[in-house]
Amino acid sequence: MTQKKISGRFDSLTRRDILRAGAGAAALTAGTSVLGMPAIAQERSIKIGSYGGYFEDSFKKHIYPVFTEATGIKVESVTQPNSSDWLVTMQQAAASGTAPADLSLYGKDTMIKAMRIGGLLKPLDVAKIPNASNMKKDFLYEGSDGLVGVGAMAWFTAMVINPNEIKPAPTSWKEFWENPALESSLGLSKQYDARFLDITAATYFDGAETLMTEEGITAVIDKVAEIKPNVALWWTAESQMEQAMKNEDVIGGMYYLDVAGLMAADGFPIAPIFPKEGNPIGYGSWCLSPLSEKSEEAAEFISFSCDPATQALMSRKIGTAPLVDKSLTGLSDEEYAGVSGEPYITPAYEAYLDKESFIKEKWDAMLAGA
């Protein structure tokens, strides 16, 4: 399946064989917090939307059965496209009075869009989601009516290097601009919204705030233009960067953290790095349809999802990053490093929505320029 990304990520989750990484993962134990003794089975159910391919298959195989065993609530999996397209479907559903899914998985930008449209997200009762207290506050999205999104899982775009060629390892993204040894050696994404703008803003400016004005956007893109002599590949497909790193056509750049880990495990010369500015984070959140009559079941599933044991299970079986503190998950240092790290860069979501045409025009002109 060719699945469009949320802010540039989920297509690889649908293609990659990341389940290899979970082959040796430990199952949840009976003594783990909310996943203790199963509740008495009842005729209860819920429809949950998630991205297709390996991602959805992994939820159906590894996540939903554990939830059903713990609560007696059956899960009907609904394949949803990327969250922006799915939002259109949910708008149409709201107009017709039907709900294709009770819970949907939305990116932060899509939640913002939904709140601006209005009437597409049903407030959640946080008192019925006790494990939400495990979540870092960045991943609890408050709307005008209260809590409307609770983080599900995260993923990273990371600095990557060939550790045989770049020594010592960079500690800052600045080295990609300033190290003369990296001329014509880097691979960066060609997409304007693939987070290199956020990386540049965090490295040389005031982060997301700088991208909220056209003057700031122009300054950031001008800074990106300065790195062009060091870029050997502006990649548009994940496979292009993968092959370039394998062939050593590039020796550094930006790539997906989880896939880089898989490549390294297979013996290819690639190492993901968390520099001092951080790497861009993307994440999905569980959101409840206003037409759903399954608020109780939704609250139970979201609380289950927020349990550190479930977060660890998703990391091991799906390759996503946990949204709770590492110390709560039981993940080893090696397991955690394969899917997550700190610090992280929060993308300028509002800027990409409000200034999309301006950003794209300036970005394309920068790429086309000498």
pLDDT at 18: 36
What would the two tokens of residue 36 be?
């203790």
Whether pLDDT at 137 is above 50: yes
pLDDT at 62: 95
Cβ(160)–Cβ(260) below 8 Å: yes
Whether pLDDT at 65 is above 90: yes
Given the structure tokens 């956007």, which residue do they identify? 217
User: What residue type is assigned to position 55 of the chain?
Assistant: F
User: What residue type is assigned to position 202 of the chain?
Assistant: A
pLDDT at 52: 83
Whether pLDDT at 84 is above 90: no
Whether pLDDT at 145 is above 80: yes
Q: Which helix (H) or strand (E) holds 46?
A: strand 44-51
Whether pLDDT at 14 is above 90: no
Cis previous bond, 343, omega within 30: yes
Q: 277 versus 181: which is more confidently predicted?
A: 277
Whether pLDDT at 4 is above 90: no
Whether pLDDT at 42 is above 80: no
pLDDT at 83: 79
- DSSP category for residue 150: E
Residues 323 and 76: their CA atoms lie apart, in Å, by: 24
| 231-248 residue pLDDT tens | 999 999 989 999 999 999
Q: What is the mean pLDDT of residues 202-220?
A: 98
Q: pLDDT band at 9, cuts 50/70/90?
A: very low
pLDDT at 10: 41
pLDDT at 301: 98
Cβ(244)–Cβ(190) below 8 Å: no
pLDDT at 82: 79
pLDDT at 212: 97
Cβ(219)–Cβ(207) below 8 Å: no
pLDDT at 370: 59
Give percent of the chain with pLDDT exceeding 90: 79
Residue-range domains of the chain with CATH: 10-155+282-341 (3.40.190.10), 156-280+346-368 (3.40.190.10)
Q: Which range in 113-117, 275-279, 336-340 is most confidently predicted, on average pLDDT?
A: 275-279
Lowest mean pLDDT among 98-102, 196-200, 363-367: 98-102
- Kindly write down the DSSP assignment for every residue of 344-362, as one continuous string: EEPP-HHHHHHSHHHHHHH
Whether pLDDT at 324 is above 60: yes
| 348-362 residue pLDDT tens | 999 999 999 999 999
Per the prediction, the chain carries an average pLDDT of 89
Q: 29 versus 274: which is more confidently predicted?
A: 274
The angle, 0 to 180 degrees and rounded to 10, between the axes of the packed helices 196-204 and 214-225 is: 100
Cβ(9)–Cβ(339) below 8 Å: no
- In degrees rounded to 5, what are phi and psi of residue 199? -60, -45
The angle, 0 to 180 degrees and rounded to 10, between the axes of the packed helices 214-225 and 356-368 is: 20
- Kindly write down the DSSP assignment for every residue of 279-292, as one continuous string: EEEEEEEEEE-TT-
Q: Which residues pair with 273 in a beta bridge?
A: 159
pLDDT at 94: 87
